[in-house]
Chains A and B, each alone.
Chain A
Amino acid sequence: MSGDPWFVRRQLGLGWRPATWQGWMITAIAVAVVVVTLVLFRIHKSPIGIVVVVAILGVYAAIAAMMSRRPALAAAGQSDSTAPEPHLPQSGAAAAAPERALAPVAPQQARPVIDRPAQRRGTLALEVAHLTKRFGDRIAFQDVSFTVGAGEVFGFLGPNGAGKTTTVRTLGTLIAPTAGSAIVAGFPLLPGNSQAIRQRIAIMPEAPGLYLRLSVRENLEYFAGLFSVENPRARIGEALEAVNMQSRSEDPCGSLSKGLRQRVGVARALLSDPDILFLDEPTSGLDPVATRDVNDLIEGLRRRGATVFLTTHRLEEAERLCDRVAILNTTLRMVGRPDELRAQLFSRSLVVRTAAPLPAADAVFGSVSGIQSWHADSASGYVLTVSDPKTVAPALTRALVAADADVESIAEVQHSLEDVYLELINEDVEARGR
């Protein structure tokens, strides 16, 4: 259908004229009803005929007036071609977004399922500034700011109730922020841009929400229609292939295991070749094998250059899959690469194990430059806080040998993302307890 309304106002201002076949049909029906009414009343000779004819014309005028006002259709958060100019992103695929927004109902071009050119990396897919959402007095999240680069897999971590899902829903235009701003896939997060944003993103909620009575293919056909995907048959085939579900395409979704349903959910999210893919706890409730399958899919998306916004509280998953992570606990606690977060939060340390306790540990450790402090963690185990483990370790080894110590091991302490997470969350718990 064209972008025209069903009726358009005449240029001189009065009246309307049909602009599409639907408008002509309504006009034809109105004319037919008026003619039939006039004929019937001519037979019955009733004066009420005039009233009825006027009523019919009134209904017709009301329909025409409503259908000729495009802003009326675009009310309350739906976008139209008069939507505000999108924010200009830096370059790459996101830069193409504003052009698409200016076109009426821009259908997706037939593109391979998530196959981003490498040069997209480095541009911004998502910019969030001081975003806040409150439900009455309850704060879902507050003053959240971060950016996500195109082609990046961004982990969004936090305990239950931290506001992760609400953040995804807000960025996905399902709910309106209370304060702050964001640019999603090149469009400012404003009510007028919501449809344009939704055209360029895909969200897979925690539960994939499939129609269990419909087959896998029917589910995908529905969403291909909702996204106005060009050449849907081919796209569905590609999406099914991407998640290795071709052989189950005719099975009802109700007959699939939870892991397979998640795969269908991912296939559905890939259908429209989104600029940003939001995956909300995609492995929640899955067994280890299904979890590995879903993680492999995400890994595959990353290799293809997809921008993925992954919310999870599986820390090992985030550490393995994500380029950067953010830790949210109503407010954003930290953002960065996992190794950066570790470095920011924990001092670097070495653990020394000896066969017997050192008789003069203070003298040995004090003689090595770069050791900032130390403490014993067992009878013959010592934890040393150091400036740089790589330079301190050789000097420390020499000092221990010189002191005649039987060294069993010298190792750098490895902090996991879990340690970072627990440290931050515990800080919050302690702060609230005070």
Chain B
Amino acid sequence: MSFSVRRTRAVLVKELRDFRRNRFIIGTMVVLPLLFLIVPIADLFRTAAPRVLDAQVGTSLLLLLIAPVVVPATIASYSVVGEREQGTLEPVLTTPVRREELLVGKAFAALLPSVAIGYVLFAVVVTAVRFGANQVVVDAVWQAPNFLAQALFVPLLAAWSIWVGIAISTRSSDVRVAQQLGTLASLPPLGIVALMTYQVITPSITIAIILAAILASADILGWRFVGVLFDRERLITGHKPTRA
């Protein structure tokens, strides 16, 4: 049987319905982005000295990239171990759903709100800057590369964070531990962006595209890797599969 879009969509719809009614997830989706919104706006509304302006803008935009890393990590880390704790995983695994379909459905359910949050945050910040900040700051922020970087890195970082989160979730036995580890483990790619922000690596479109390509490859590998980790027997019994 081939990959079924219908089954994947069923997983996606269920996940989104469940998120909508889960106070913890709604809280994570609201509170964390607000934190990452207030700091950059406050920072960009200060008039910086010209010599530190680039760093100030870079730091603010970097903060905006933390939300699409942390939010999906929290959701994705919950996705498998959370179901196991609730006792809902076993009935799902008894259906014809393939692990690829289940994983892609869960990943998209975490990706969609995360990317939406990332883009909305960026839109709010650049709009606020456009109408309220010093013209020097406006000129520094309203640069095409900044828009390109956000457009590229928000979904790619979120996807990376999701696969890391799901990978940890499949091997964890406790939701909170999975969420803490998932958030921590998804941060390293942000380090490269930070190096660019602080100009340790000279930022350029070339570098941005190369990094985006590397991140995209890592996301695909992450999907395949998580697929290998996701074993029905281990998830149900906690034992390594012992086939004849």
Contacts and interface: CB of A to CB of B under 8 A. Distances in A.
A167 B231 CA distance: 18
Interface in B1-38: 1-7, 9-11, 13-14, 17-18, 21-22
Interface stretch (B67-75, B85-93, B114-122, B180-188): B85-93
A397 interface: no
A199 B96 contact: yes
A316 interface: no
A172 B99 CA distance: 16
B210 A5 contact: no
Interface in A92-109: 104-105
B97 interface: yes
A59 B212 CA distance: 11
Contacts of A134: 242
Contact of A213 (B2, B18, B90, B98): B18
A228 B206 CA distance: 45
Interface in A15-48: 37, 40-41, 44, 46, 48
A359 interface: no
A4 interface: yes
A79 B231 CA distance: 15
Interface stretch (B50-58, B126-134, B165-173, B232-240): B232-240
B100 A177 contact: no
B123 to A, nearest CB: 22
A77 B91 contact: no
Nearest to A46: B206
Interface stretch (A218-226, A233-241, A337-345): A218-226
Interface in A229-278: 265, 268
A364 interface: no
**Interface residue range, chain B:** 35 or more
Contacts of A104: 1-2
A62 B217 contact: yes
A136 B239 contact: yes
Contacts of A177: 244
Residue in B4, B7, B96 whose Cβ sees the most chain A Cβ within 10 Å: B96
B13 A222 contact: yes
Contacts of B9: 225
Contacts of A227: 95-96
Contacts of A44: 205-206
B228 A176 contact: no
B232 A175 contact: yes
Nearest to A180: B244
B213 A225 contact: no
A172 B94 contact: yes
B13 to A, nearest CB: 7
A66 B206 CA distance: 27
A205 interface: yes
A175 B236 contact: yes
A162 to B, nearest CB: 16
A195 interface: yes
Residue in A77, A105, A196, A225 whose Cβ sees the most chain B Cβ within 10 Å: A225
A292 to B, nearest CB: 24
Contact of A208 (B91, B92, B96): B91
Given A63-B220, A136-B239, A174-B236, A205 B1 contact: no
A225 B13 contact: yes
B14 A80 contact: no
A433 interface: no
A178 B244 contact: yes
A276 to B, nearest CB: 12
A1 B4 contact: yes
B149 to A, nearest CB: 13
A8 interface: no
B209 interface: yes
A203 interface: yes
A211 interface: yes
A348 interface: no
Contact of B2 (A48, A49, A73, A210): A73
A178 to B, nearest CB: 6
A227 to B, nearest CB: 6
A135 B94 contact: no
Given A3-B2, A52-B210, A226-B95, A135 B7 contact: no
B115 to A, nearest CB: 16
Interface in A41-73: 41, 44, 46, 48-49, 51-52, 55-56, 59, 62-63, 66, 70, 73
Interface in A158-206: 166, 169, 172-179, 191, 195-196, 198-199, 201-205
Interface in B211-236: 213, 216-217, 220, 224, 228, 231-233, 236
A223 B220 CA distance: 28
Contact of B91 (A73, A205, A228): A205
Contact of B10 (A70, A81, A191, A225): A225
B241 interface: yes
B233 A175 contact: yes
Nearest to A225: B10
A5 B2 contact: yes
B6 A49 contact: no
13 contacts: A44-B205, A49-B206, A66-B220, A79-B1, A104-B2, A136-B242, A175-B241, A176-B241, A177-B244, A210-B88, A213-B22, A226-B97, A228-B4
| Top 8 A-B pairs, shortest CB-CB distance | A225-B10, A213-B21, A226-B95, A203-B94, A222-B14, A209-B91, A209-B87, A175-B233
Interface of A: 1-5, 37, 40-41, 44, 46, 48-49, 51-52, 55-56, 59, 62-63, 66, 70, 73, 76-81, 104-105, 134-136, 166, 169, 172-179, 191, 195-196, 198-199, 201-205, 207-214, 218, 221-228, 265, 268
Given A105-B1, A228-B4, 19 more contacts: A3-B2, A46-B206, A48-B206, A55-B213, A76-B228, A104-B2, A105-B2, A136-B242, A174-B90, A176-B233, A198-B95, A201-B94, A214-B17, A218-B17, A221-B14, A222-B11, A222-B13, A226-B11, A228-B96
